[in-house]
């Protein structure tokens, strides 16, 4: 649920990962190389699942023609902190995994299920070392990734539209309720919701 | 990914659950009442996520007209055993959570994301206390559920089509690879795959 259109890597280095990511031992996250690349958070499939979407996009485009799922996970330490505070602590790592979808297979006749075709893994990381405290990383392989430059549109989009602390909690149903209860929804998100809730035509009413 | 068409409960008792299931403390599963009802596995959203599908169905029907997602989780102990053996140990609990999907909301323009509308929670449980070692439970509320009678079609469908030990591992991409490597795919599933892979028309060839 980060800037897919901009960031989606070809991901050929990610394709043989299915069984490997299922079995990874816990690693400390986030971790970086000496030159500031983020190490691939190898065990993310054993983190806390936040939600899944299908063919989501934020622009008017009609998509890629392929069905794609996105699964979002967060490291358990950050999840626990969110439950208590309604927002994210330092060292939060959200992972967006993009996977192919299939319709006809085995006994399935309708809709779509996820397959082993890994189309991308992106991380959104909160760490005081970054300008603005958050950074994006798009992995082309299961080793490491460079920080996405802060001029990229994903940063401004998340700042302007995300429900909590630049993250799209509006698409994570179990967390959205907690953020509402804790009063941590962003002013920008609340303003957008208020505009969306106005009856159509209200802006044209005379006085 | 169990028998939705048959089992989907109205689920009105499940609707206010979003924030609650995010915060549940770990509980021992499976657990039962004295009269054999299964207790709701309250912390399942913190288990291991296996996969998510959208509008899947196994029959020719055109669906309900609503977009529905299904998320599948398994208890961590059973997951660890599967990684080692390629199959499920006693006391495995798979939870299928059915949720509503939305398309237009916040900045999303295409595809679907999951919302807080809980449409059902079902469990598929391996326990030596059951006839055939596995049983289904469909929860109408977040308290407990009665065992689905073993005459229900979900049992025969899972026995006839599931890839591993009556579970639909063919729809859980990270586990499918492990089952292949461990040689635990069911004969019925392998036969179905072999038939599907035959060139069209082969069955009509003379000799």
- ipTM of the predicted structure? 0.88
Q: Which of B16, B26, B44, B46 to mutate to test the interface with A (most CBs of A within 10 A)?
A: B46
Nearest residue of chain A to residue B21 (CA atoms): A174
Q: Over 70: is that where the pLDDT of B2 sits?
A: no
Higher pLDDT, B105 or A44: A44
What pLDDT, on a 0 to 100 scale, did the predictor assign at position B44? 96
What pLDDT, on a 0 to 100 scale, did the predictor assign at position B198? 80
Q: Which of B114, B116, B177 sits opposite A116 (nearest CB)?
A: B177
Q: Is residue B102 packed enough to be buried (19+ CB in 10 Å), middle (13-18) or exposed (0-12)?
A: middle
What pLDDT, on a 0 to 100 scale, did the predictor assign at position A12? 60
CB atoms B56 and A112 under 8 Å: yes
Q: What is the mean pLDDT of residues B170-178?
A: 95
**Tokens at residue B54, please?**
């959208």
Selection from B63-67, B104-108, B179-183 with the highest mean pLDDT: B179-183
d(CA B92, CA B74) in angstroms, rounded, equals 7
Q: Over 90: is that where the pLDDT of B94 sits?
A: yes
Catalogue the E-assigned strands of chain B. Answer: 38-39, 48-57, 68-74, 92-102, 110-126, 134-139, 144-145
Nearest residue of chain B to residue A175 (CA atoms): B19
Tell me which residue of A187, A125, A186, A193 sits closest to A155, measured CA to CA: A125
**CB < 8 Å to B191, chain A:** none
DSSP label at residue A101: E
Q: Over 60: is that where the pLDDT of B122 sits?
A: yes
CB atoms A111 and B55 under 8 Å: yes
Lowest mean pLDDT among A189-193, B49-53, B57-61: B57-61
CB atoms A110 and B55 under 8 Å: yes
- Residue B161, chain A, CB below 8 Å: the answer is yes
**Tokens at residue A193, please?**
């919701």
What pLDDT, on a 0 to 100 scale, did the predictor assign at position B60? 63
- Average of per-residue pLDDT values in chain B: 87
**CB < 8 Å to A83, chain B:** 22-23
pLDDT one-digit tens code per residue, B6-38: 344 445 677 667 778 888 888 889 999 999 999
d(CA B173, CA B190) in angstroms, rounded, equals 16
What pLDDT, on a 0 to 100 scale, did the predictor assign at position A22? 85
Nearest residue of chain B to residue A174 (CA atoms): B18
What pLDDT, on a 0 to 100 scale, did the predictor assign at position B39? 96
What is chain A's pLDDT, residue by residue, as a tens digit (207 residues)?
Answer: 444 433 444 456 776 677 788 888 888 899 999 999 999 999 999 999 999 999 888 766 555 678 999 999 999 999 999 999 999 999 999 999 999 999 888 888 788 999 999 989 999 999 999 999 999 999 999 999 999 999 999 999 999 999 999 999 999 999 999 999 999 999 999 998 888 888 765 444 444
Tell me which residue of B204, B166, B160, B200 sits closest to B184, measured CA to CA: B166
Q: Is residue A196 packed enough to be buried (19+ CB in 10 Å), middle (13-18) or exposed (0-12)?
A: exposed
CB atoms B22 and A175 under 8 Å: yes
DSSP SS3 for B127: coil
Tell me which residue of B183, B124, B119, B115 sits closest to B148, measured CA to CA: B124
Q: How many CB pairs below 8 Å do chains A and B form together?
A: 161
**CB < 8 Å to B177, chain A:** 18-19, 22, 116
Q: What percent of chain B has pLDDT over 70?
A: 86
**Residues 6 or more apart whose Cβ sits within 8 Å of residue B67:** B54, B55, B100, B101, B102, B103, B112
CB B119 within 8 A of CB B98: yes
CB atoms B174 and A45 under 8 Å: yes
| pTM, full prediction | 0.89
Q: Which residue has 């977040």 as its token pair? A: B142
CB atoms B19 and A181 under 8 Å: yes
Number of H helices, E strands in chain B: 6, 7
**CB < 8 Å to B19, chain A:** 174, 177-178, 181
Q: What percent of chain B has pLDDT over 90?
A: 65
Residues 10-69 of A with CB under 8 A from B: 18-19, 21-23, 45-46, 48-49, 51-63, 69
CB B40 within 8 A of CB B17: no
Tell me which residue of B98, B80, B95, B165 sits closest to B136, measured CA to CA: B95
Question: In angstroms, what CA-CA distances link A198 with A162, A195, B41, B104?
Answer: 20, 5, 40, 16
Q: Which of B19, B45, B107 sits opposite A58 (nearest CB)?
A: B107
pLDDT one-digit tens code per residue, B123-158: 999 999 999 999 999 999 999 999 999 999 999 999
> CA of B34 to nearest chain A CA: how many angstroms apart?
31
């Amino acid at each position: 649920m980060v800037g897919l259109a901009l960031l989606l890597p070809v991901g050929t280095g990610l394709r043989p990962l299915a069984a490997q990511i299922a079995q990874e031992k816990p690693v400390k996250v986030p971790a970086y190389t000496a030159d500031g690349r983020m190490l691939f958070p190898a065990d993310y499939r054993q983190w806390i699942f936040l939600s899944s979407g299908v063919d989501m996009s934020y622009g008017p485009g009609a998509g890629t023609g392929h069905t794609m799922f996105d699964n979002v996970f967060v490291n358990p330490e950050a999840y626990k902190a969110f439950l208590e505070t309604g927002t994210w602590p330092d060292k939060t790592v959200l992972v967006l995994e993009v996977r192919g979808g299939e319709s006809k297979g085995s006994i399935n006749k309708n809709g779509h299920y996820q397959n082993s075709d890994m189309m991308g893994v992106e991380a959104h990381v909160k760490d005081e070392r970054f300008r603005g405290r958050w950074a994006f990383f798009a992995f082309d392989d299961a080793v490491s990734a460079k920080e996405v430059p802060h001029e990229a549109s994903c940063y401004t989009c998340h700042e302007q539209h995300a429900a909590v602390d630049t993250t799209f909690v509006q698409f994570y149903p179990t967390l959205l309720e907690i953020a509402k209860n804790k009063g941590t929804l962003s002013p920008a998100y609340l303003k957008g919701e208020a505009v969306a809730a106005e009856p159509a035509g209200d802006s044209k009413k005379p006085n």
